[in-house]
Amino acid sequence: MHLESNETSSTASKPSILDQSIVSLAAWLQDRSLPKYRAKQILGWVYQRRAESFEAMTDLPKGVRSELDAAFDFYRTKTIATQNSEDGTQKLLLQLPDGGRIECVLLRDGPRRSICVSSQVGCAMGCVFCASGLDGVERNLTRGEILEQMLKLQRLLPAEERLSHIVMMGMGEPLANLPRVLDALSVAKDSEIGLGISPRRITISTVGLPQSIDKLAEDKSPYHLAISLHAPNDTLRNQLVPVNKKIGIESILEAADRYFDATGRRLTFEYVLLKDLNDSQQCAEQLVKLLRGRTAMLNVIPYNPVPGLPYETPTAEVIHQFRRILMEAGINVMFRQRKGDDIQAACGQLRRLREKEPDLVELKR
Ligand code: SAH
């Protein structure tokens, strides 16, 4: 895939602390004749104790704090909009040092505190109904930029609450930026210095790139994989998910099967229901044929309309009918509730809205 600009933040002068591993930080400390064990202490402050500056790391000697401050950036993004939904969903629009904008979301559902994180600025996949890819992709996010979203969302929680789930379902295609996504997730699952989120509660969502799915399978990925299917045949999928023309459903399903065989992790297929496009009885029946015999779960999501795009959500009756066919055929199907409707929480929506209203700092409190 062609990326238009540099993959690191060009305007940043110092390396980010969020791009340091425990090994690189220990080496940095050693170079300065500082004890190596401080690396764990520093990263513990960053990921677990929710520090926002080196100054806040009060059990570090002042000299170490100022050396860190001179050597590393801390947070680099500016929160340019916060939206709070009635249902507890909170969405942040972040601006990167080079001006790129990304979105991330915190969802509260019973005891769950799930976050939805972006992997790229924009998206190259071009799904016709999705707001994220309308202007193509600008660049991949760095490991630090992916982690910064998690940390900023974590800071929205009171001290006694912890993040419980991560879904890589924000802007971008995570498998098109795989090394950095995996780097960031390894910190997310690390219970020693990182966020300590069980990999079973971390989902990578993909449009379906077979080679990268195979790479994950080879590495015995501990993560949950969700594949955005959206259509039960190639003719329709080519129309809704144009990147499919080069791939095809069959090769995605084969890669998905290999992922299951290699990891034992049950797959999820996602299906956004679009009125009069993929919501027919015939589509449901074809979907049954595709999924029957696979240890998979189907997640059906009613479309969250994007202003300016012609796509609509099917009526409740059509959704019900679609569901009945799948359930009667014994498919393991879940109908996801939309969350954050009132704040345009679907992928890429806030970024577009804010392009039209650049002066508004806080949309809703
Ligand atoms: N590129 C990845 C992850 C990002 S999108 C992927 O394709 O899976 C996460 C999911 O949200 C995808 O299934 C995507 O198709 C879906 N989505 C995008 N825009 C939506 C909208 N307006 N309403 C409902 N779902 C949407």
Q: Give the tens place of pLDDT for each residue, 186-210.
A: 999 999 999 999 999 999 999 999 9
Phi then psi dihedrals of residue 144, to 5 deg: -65, -35
CA angle 108, 114, 272 (to 5 degrees): 95
**Among 171, 286, 175, 289, residue whose Cα is nearest residue 236:** 286
Domain regions of the chain by residue span: 21-71, 78-356
pLDDT at 363: 30
pLDDT at 2: 37
pTM of the model: 0.92
User: Right CATH number for 21-71 from 1.20.990.10, 1.10.150.530, 3.90.1010.10, 3.30.360.10?
Assistant: 1.10.150.530
Diameter of the chain by CA atoms? 69
Q: Is 93 exposed, middle or buried (0-12, 13-18, 19+ CB in 10 A)?
A: buried
DSSP 208: -
**Among 63, 62, 23, 55, residue whose Cα is nearest residue 40:** 23
Task: Find the helix or strand (DSSP H, E) in which 288 lies.
Answer: helix 281-291
Name every residue whose Cβ is closer than 8 Å to that of residue 257 and which is 6 or more positions away in sequence. Answer: 294
Minimal-distance CA residue to ligand 1 atom 5: 169
Q: Inter-axis angle of helices 38-47 and 143-154, to 10 degrees?
A: 60
Q: What would the 3-class secondary structure string for 296-351 be?
A: EEEEEEECCCCCCCCCCCCCHHHHHHHHHHHHHCCCCEEECCCCCHHHCCCCCHHH
Residues annotated as part of the active site:
103, 347
Minimal-distance CA residue to ligand 1 atom 13: 228
- What amino acid is encoded at 341 in this protein? D
Q: Give the tens place of pLDDT for each residue, 13-64.
A: 899 999 999 999 999 999 999 999 999 999 999 999 999 999 999 999 999 9
Under CATH, domain 78-356 is a member of which superfamily? Aldolase class I (3.20.20.70)
Which residues line the pocket of ligand 1, CB cutoff 6 A?
125, 127, 129-130, 169, 173, 205-207, 228, 270, 272, 301, 303-304, 306, 346-347
Q: Give the tens place of pLDDT for each residue, 127-183.
A: 999 999 898 999 999 999 999 999 999 999 999 999 999 999 999 999 999 999 999
Minimal-distance CA residue to ligand 1 atom 1: 173
